[in-house]
């Protein structure tokens, strides 16, 4: 477990470059720049920066950069027994995770916060030793009332029981009026309100989630503050190699959500043609056998090798441990074309609430028409 703890503290860039050296050409056959967007690349966007925030609320030596594996907290509850949420988060920290992914929309942040407190205590850690991300929900984009952004941010800090966040994301590029469910708010305005949060000294970085290419370009062109990270769905059934590479060129970290694909039971029934469960897929299970890993570790390791941060969620101790163990699962070059072929055969986006919200999400990205 000691090795895992050390590895989980490594920055993504250190880890991935070490692994990439082994593999020599980690994403070369991922058709990284095969999109037509290559010609449109605007280097002035990549040149923007995310300001380094120092304040009395942030210790002088917080976690340097986002750890390559975090613990997801969506659907972390056991009906009315929120103790399950607290215990899972505490166990994750105790096991060696140093990064927790939260959101106001998950409606469990108070219990996640208790888990953070308990986990830090048991592991003998301080707040500064871990990375905490949370997200602003659609009904607090604040077009009509700009103070809503700061209001939800403050509630999140209070619920999680932390003095600052490492990263605060706009959950979707869709603002919704809480009164009439009007979704016409502009994320550019929301982003400008989020940049003001940096002035409070209570958040180190801001970022986005679920943006389409043109939305990302527009947001970056509108502001001097570059998003630190973009969190979106990314797994072997939705590989988006060029989109990942695009972020590398921009200097924006990619965090892969639902990295175990259709292992999340919520997606059942949401997708017209659900592919076979990723973790039972023979391509994945055979690679797992050959590399002495588990199928989940193969899926997570594959994403980390490509340079993405992964945030698997589980309420089971054995899975929490197993998923962190993906840091020790080394894939080899021949595994990549096999997994790439899987992505072509079963290309599926699991999470697209656009239809229900009356908006077209993920324009220009794979699987956006489902
Ligand atoms: N930004 C966004 O819009 C967005 C959207 C979706 C997710 N996220 C974030 O990403 C995190 C991860 O995504 P996710 O929760 O959708 O899915 P996930 O982490 O890919 O999969 C979670 C599911 O897989 C099961 N599982 C976990 N580890 C396993 C293992 N080793 N073997 C077998 N089954 C395993 C879990 O079961 P048990 O829990 O029963 O153990 C759970 O049902 C979320 O928790 C959230 O923090 C963000």
Residue 119 has pLDDT above 80, yes or no: yes
User: What pLDDT score was predicted for residue 185?
Assistant: 83
Is residue 367 situated within a structural domain?
no
Lining residues, ligand 1, CB within 6 Å? 72-74, 101, 171, 209-210, 231, 257-260, 263-265, 279, 296, 311-316, 319, 322-323, 351
Is residue 368 situated within a structural domain?
no
- pLDDT tens-digit series, residues 24-57: 233 333 433 344 455 567 889 999 999 999 999 9
Ligand 1 mean position, distance from CA 312 (Å): 5
Q: How far is CA 50 from the centre of its chain?
A: 18
Is residue 239 situated within a structural domain?
yes
Is residue 81 situated within a structural domain?
yes
Task: Pick 204 or 358 by higher pLDDT.
Answer: 204
CB-neighbour burial class of residue 220 (10 A; exposed 0-12, middle 13-18, buried 19+): buried
Is residue 365 situated within a structural domain?
no
- pLDDT tens-digit series, residues 240-289: 999 999 999 999 999 999 999 999 999 998 898 999 999 999 999 999 99
Domains: count for the chain: 1
User: What pLDDT score was predicted for residue 142?
Assistant: 83
Are 157 and 165 in contact by the 8 Å Cβ rule? The answer is yes
- Which domain covers residue 29, as residue numbers? 2-357
User: What pLDDT score was predicted for residue 266?
Assistant: 94
- pLDDT tens-digit series, residues 75-115: 998 656 788 999 999 999 999 999 999 999 999 999 999 99
CATH code, domain carrying 90: 3.20.20.100
Average pLDDT for 206-233 = 97
Is residue 366 situated within a structural domain?
no
From 95, 209, 233, 257, mutation site for ligand 1 pocket: most ligand atoms within 8 A of C-beta: 257
Share of the chain above pLDDT 90, in %: 80
Assign 126 a pLDDT band (cuts: 50, 70, 90): very high
Chain mean pLDDT for the chain: 89
Is residue 265 situated within a structural domain?
yes
Active site residues: 106
Is residue 369 situated within a structural domain?
no
Query: Closest Cα partner for 69 from 15, 8, 121?
Result: 8
């Amino acid at each position: 477990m000691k090795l895992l703890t050390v590895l989980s503290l490594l920055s993504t860039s250190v880890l991935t470059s070490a692994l990439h050296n082994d593999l020599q050409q980690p994403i070369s056959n991922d058709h990284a720049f095969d999109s037509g967007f290559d010609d449109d690349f605007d280097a002035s966007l990549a040149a923007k920066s995310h300001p380094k925030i120092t304040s009395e609320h942030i210790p002088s030596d917080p976690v340097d950069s986002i750890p390559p594996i975090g613990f997801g907290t969506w659907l972390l509850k056991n009906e009315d027994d929120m103790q399950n949420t607290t215990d899972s988060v505490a166990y994750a920290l105790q096991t060696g995770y140093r990064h927790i992914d939260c959101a106001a929309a998950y409606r469990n942040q108070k219990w996640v916060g208790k888990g953070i407190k308990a986990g830090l205590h048991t592991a003998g850690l301080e707040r500064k030793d871990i990375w905490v991300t949370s997200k602003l929900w659609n009904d607090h984009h604040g077009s009509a009332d700009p103070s809503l952004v700061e209001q939800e941010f403050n509630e999140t800090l209070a619920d999680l029981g932390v003095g600052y966040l490492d990263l605060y994301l706009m959950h979707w590029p869709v603002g919704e009026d809480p009164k009439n469910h009007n979704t016409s708010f502009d994320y550019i305005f929301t982003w400008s309100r989020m940049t003001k949060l940096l002035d409070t000294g209570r958040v180190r970085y801001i970022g986005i989630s679920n943006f389409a290419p043109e939305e990302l370009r527009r947001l970056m062109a509108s502001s001097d503050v570059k998003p630190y990270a973009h969190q979106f769905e990314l797994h072997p059934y939705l590989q988006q190699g060029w989109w990942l590479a695009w972020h590398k060129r921009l200097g924006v970290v990619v965090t892969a959500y639902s990295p175990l694909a259709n292992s999340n039971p919520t997606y059942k029934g949401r997708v017209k043609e659900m592919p076979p469960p990723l973790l039972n897929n023979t391509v994945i299970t055979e690679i797992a056998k050959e590399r002495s890993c588990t199928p989940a570790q193969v899926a997570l390791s594959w994403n980390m090798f490509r340079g993405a941060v992964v945030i698997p969620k589980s309420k089971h101790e054995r899975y929490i441990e197993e998923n962190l163990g993906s840091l020790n699962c080394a894939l080899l070059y021949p595994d990549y074309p096999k997994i790439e072929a899987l992505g072509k055969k079963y290309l599926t986006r699991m999470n697209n609430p656009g239809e229900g919200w009356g908006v077209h999400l993920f324009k220009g990205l794979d699987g956006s028409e489902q």
